[in-house]
Structure 1
Amino acid sequence: MKEGNVISERFLLNNERALRLFNGYAKDLPIIDYHNHLPPQEIAENKQFVNLTEIWLKGDHYKWRGMRTLGVDENLITGTASDKEKFMAWAEVVPSTIRNPLFHWTHMELKNPFGVNSFLNKDSAMSVYKHCNELLSQDEFSTQGLLNHYKVKMVGTTDDPCDDLKWHQQLLDSSFTAKVKPSFRPDKALMIEKTQQFKQYVQALSEVSGIQIKDIESLVAALKSRVEFFAAHGCSISDHGLAALPYSYVLTDAEKREFESFLKTDGSVYSNPDAFAGYILTELSKLYHEKGWVQQFHLGAIRNNNLGMFAKLGADAGYDSIGDYKHAERMSAFFGNLSLTDQLTKTIIYNLNPADNEVFAAMTGNFADGRMKGKMQFGSGWWFLDQKDGIEKQLNTLSNLGMVSNFVGMLTDSRSFLSYSRHEYFRRILCNLFGTEMENGQLPDDEEWMGKIISDICYYNAEAYFNLK
């Protein structure tokens, strides 16, 4: 491919200090991707992708959403069109994504790892497609090859308690050097308001745990057994994707008895789903503390808004949005209750609504205990907020209300093996923020001092926080 200059050496780095910080303290550090949705099977089997569409467009609801907005027919997104046709449809609309983060992400993902640094459009599409497909046939572009290329030290996948973790075990038994750690995601065990799905899930959890779930105590016991199973497979992180934390965390004796009859009676509806979810989540959080795990809460999404397309395509198809929930009192009550018995483990909270930045950042300071740095973290810009503006706002809010020097940095939260350019994107934005303030006198003009903080945010804080040394 003819080399262009779309993503230049100075991309997002607006002064010499920013450039030196990036090249000297951020660029070459390994990556700890402590939360993503990569399929562990594809890593264990060291999958080789057939073409650029398979690795780049299938499952990427960011791109799907953009294509729909730009008038691309669904057949060319998730339908029966050929992979080549789908890629051509994407390439044709890329020029119209200008000023959307997709424009930068697209060209960063083409530059690294494919070495394509020219604009993707209708005219360049076929040469780009051919060039990338040829590279994808090489060993270095398998799933494990790509993780090695990006210097990924740890991959934190997202896994249901019922998962048998056989692919994680296969990776543990292999010579692959990157740690691929499962993360415990028990959301389905909390969603009692979805009556039929919940009862089906309880049955599956009973079978996999070997514990017949007939009451609250046996449900907690079954979940505890799966926590132990996950821990035996290297898990040390949980994750929860909730609209908001439950407001209540206490079940009355009558509500506990109601749960027993709820499980036995077809068509029954549980009367207090919020308290049920709060109770189970509290019991889980106590287990995480006992194990020394990190718990994560991704809060604020309103999902599957387009009911018609949800019926056709299911979840995670690009029809989710930013919700408008009240979080402060719920977080205060939930975390405060755990603090009463000193059972609040290391915790990361992520907001999806930018209006909640200060609320979340301020909340983290309430639970510092002086026994470790950054016990509760205000998580990185996530989903709709992982673009330049969102990242800068998160960093500035954390700096104003917390200690950015303790921050554990970026994660991909992605299903794509090409999303590791997001770490470079974050690191460039971070270095530019620091470099600009060094230039104008807001920060000390001391490259070694500021560089150490940059390196900590990009890598070393996460290494310590997740016990990866």
Structure 2
Amino acid sequence: MSVTDVVQTRDPDRLLPVDPATRDIARALYQRVADAPIVSPHGHVPAEWLARDVAFADPTALLVTHDHYVTRLLHASGVDLGDLGVGGAAVDPREAWRTFAERWHLFAGTASGHWIEDELHSVLGIDTPLSAATADAVYDTVQRRLGEPGFRPRALFERFRIDVLATTDDPLDDLQYHSAITDSGLSGRVLPTFRPDRYLDPDAVEFSTDLERLLSATGQPTTFAGYLEALRDRRAYFIAHGATSADHGIEDPATVDMSDTEAQYLFHDIVSGRATASQRAAFRGHMLVRMAGMSAEDGLVMTIHAGVVRNHSTATLRQFGPDTGHDFPRQTDFVRGLRPLLERHGLSYSLHLVLFAVDETVYSREIAPMASFYPSVYIGAPWWFLDAPDAMLRFRSAVTESAGFSRGSGFIDDTRAFLSIPARHDTARRVDAAFLARLVREGRLTESAATAVIDDIVGPQPRRVFKL
């Protein structure tokens, strides 16, 4: 079967309101920003892809294996993760693709299904519905596309109209790929992001080794003062290479303030291995306060992604490693958890603290009210399990009445799935147009005000929040 045998046209008004009058307003708002450049201040696309510009290997590696949204749902339906190539397992990519195509119906109504349809149609030019019958034909067409110069990472970067793309990087990374990109003449900016979690958490698997590496690389002694100076040194290195933010992925947003003397004694117990579980938790919480202080000093935006229990399935972790689809949301407490940090730094205008949650209840109860008072606090866009159309609408309803639009981060795609970036931003723009159109129809916002809002949130707003 040829991929042209069956053609399915995508609805140009997808995700817009059903009511005709509201849809007309939403359509006009969406069309204003549909082709606006993409500003992506937090994501996980490896800089190496854009520096080396090597063609993507195959459709399975590109769209299935590394997308935990896809692999987790296939796994739930009875597919072994190893059969999808997860964790580096050797597979026949065509067979894995067939497995995916045979179960494509599982993704009906899901955000990942919406994104992949958009990738196949808008990026790869395929209008054929995916199924067991079309699996091989679609695979062959995608494979041919990936061999063409126009489908290499740099060409796609230009085609996607990406103006800013931030990566996520280890503090000891030499950032050679970022330097290569800067020197290559790529039209947009690719910025590193300082991600220090493994150097701040005493419970991290290789914390002791990583701490030694950090101190050795910066020439600092094994003291708390030396440790802080080492982190400042690496932050300065990142800033010199274009970084504008530091990211913190934590389960519990609890923070602890303490004196320099208390912190020095605690650090000594951490290094010596004598620290109890409660002391290690206190150290984690205190280092978030210290990181906020450094951000207030050096200007790096501080983002906190909280509330995810990582590696929930021990058996899956042992067999396939981390980041393989078994991380789950939990309840979080930002108000009490972050109070020590905000007591110290919350009133600082130089600190930009962007809070991301996967617990929907905290948006209206905690994050939006905090952002409507603290000048340092901004509302992170819907993240992970919440970056889907209906959840995005719920998010807008939850935060707008107390914090308005100005206290948000702008849309954040937070993805490694490079081809999904334009689909994710397009989804956010359609949802925001739909939400604003409803406010206009209900007489709560004028059309001119809605126009000003949607123009702002796709570009100027994330630039302000992330100091771009």
TM normalised by structure 1 equals: 0.92
Q: Which amino acid aligns with 1:396?
A: S
Following the alignment from structure 1 to structure 2, what is the Cα–Cα distance between the partners of residues 465 and 169? Answer: 24
User: Structure 2, unaligned stretches of length 5 or more?
Assistant: 18-22
Deviations 1:101-158 (A, max 9, x none): 2221221121120122332111122221111111111112111111111111111111
Deviations 1:133-185 (A, max 9, x none): 11111112111111111111111111111111111111122211211101111
The alpha-carbon distance between structure 1 residues 331 and 266, as it changes in their structure 2 partners (threshold 3 A), is closer
The number of residue pairs the alignment matches comes to: 455
Matches within 5 A, 1:330-341: 330-339=337-346
- Confirm whether residue 167 of structure 1 aligns to residue 177 of structure 2: yes
The alpha-carbon distance between structure 1 residues 266 and 356, as it changes in their structure 2 partners (threshold 3 A), is closer
- Confirm whether residue 451 of structure 1 aligns to residue 454 of structure 2: no
The alpha-carbon distance between structure 1 residues 408 and 269, as it changes in their structure 2 partners (threshold 3 A), is closer
Following the alignment from structure 2 to structure 1, what is the Cα–Cα distance between the partners of residues 418 and 385? Answer: 19
Match of 1:142 among 142, 149, 152: 152
Deviations 1:47-87 (A, max 9, x none): 21122112212311111101111222223222332111111
Q: Which moved more, 1:239-248 or 1:292-301?
A: 239-248
Contact 1:262 1:270 in 2 (8 A): no
- Confirm whether residue 238 of structure 1 aligns to residue 239 of structure 2: no
Which residue in 2 is equivalent to 1:460? 460
Percent identity over the alignment is: 24
Deviations 1:329-366 (A, max 9, x none): 112231222136x3760121011111212111111122
Q: Which amino acid aligns with 2:16?
A: L
Contact 2:45 2:416 in 1 (8 A): yes
Match of 1:347 among 347, 353, 372: 353
- Confirm whether residue 316 of structure 1 aligns to residue 326 of structure 2: no
Give 3-state SS (helix, strand or coil) of 1:295's partner.
strand
Contact 1:408 1:458 in 2 (8 A): no
Following the alignment from structure 2 to structure 1, what is the Cα–Cα distance between the partners of residues 170 and 284? Answer: 16
The alpha-carbon distance between structure 1 residues 364 and 429, as it changes in their structure 2 partners (threshold 3 A), is same
Q: Which amino acid aligns with 2:122?
A: N
Which residue in 1 is equivalent to 2:302? 295
Following the alignment from structure 2 to structure 1, what is the Cα–Cα distance between the partners of residues 255 and 46? Answer: 33
Give 3-state SS (helix, strand or coil) of 1:192's partner.
coil
Q: Which moved more, 1:179-188 or 1:249-258?
A: 249-258
User: Structure 1, unaligned stretches of length 5 or more?
Assistant: 369-374
Deviations 1:388-437 (A, max 9, x none): 12111111122111021453321211111112110001111111122233
Give 3-state SS (helix, strand or coil) of 1:180's partner.
strand
Q: Which moved more, 1:44-53 or 1:402-411?
A: 402-411
Which residue in 2 is equivalent to 1:372? none
Give 3-state SS (helix, strand or coil) of 1:396's partner.
helix
Contact 1:285 1:344 in 2 (8 A): no
Which residue in 1 is equivalent to 2:119? 109
Q: Which amino acid aligns with 2:50?
A: I
- Confirm whether residue 8 of structure 1 aligns to residue 11 of structure 2: yes
Give 3-state SS (helix, strand or coil) of 1:250's partner.
coil
Q: Which moved more, 1:42-51 or 1:401-410?
A: 401-410
Contact 1:63 1:102 in 2 (8 A): yes
Q: Which moved more, 1:129-138 or 1:278-287?
A: 278-287
Which residue in 1 is equivalent to 2:49? 42
Following the alignment from structure 2 to structure 1, what is the Cα–Cα distance between the partners of residues 333 and 290? Answer: 23
Match of 1:189 among 199, 216, 220: 199
Which residue in 2 is equivalent to 1:385? 386
Matches within 5 A, 1:38-437: 38-77=45-84, 78=86, 79-194=89-204, 197-212=206-221, 214-251=222-259, 253=261, 256-260=264-268, 262-263=270-271, 265=272, 269=276, 272-339=279-346, 342=348, 345-358=351-364, 359-368=366-375, 375-420=376-421, 421-437=423-439
Following the alignment from structure 2 to structure 1, what is the Cα–Cα distance between the partners of residues 24 and 333? Answer: 42
TM normalised by structure 2 equals: 0.92
Give 3-state SS (helix, strand or coil) of 2:165's partner.
strand
Contact 1:21 1:454 in 2 (8 A): yes
The alpha-carbon distance between structure 1 residues 354 and 270, as it changes in their structure 2 partners (threshold 3 A), is closer
Following the alignment from structure 1 to structure 2, what is the Cα–Cα distance between the partners of residues 205 and 34? Answer: 26
Following the alignment from structure 1 to structure 2, what is the Cα–Cα distance between the partners of residues 197 and 138? Answer: 42
Superposition CA RMSD, Å:
2.0
Following the alignment from structure 2 to structure 1, what is the Cα–Cα distance between the partners of residues 29 and 387? Answer: 21
Following the alignment from structure 1 to structure 2, what is the Cα–Cα distance between the partners of residues 376 and 26? Answer: 26
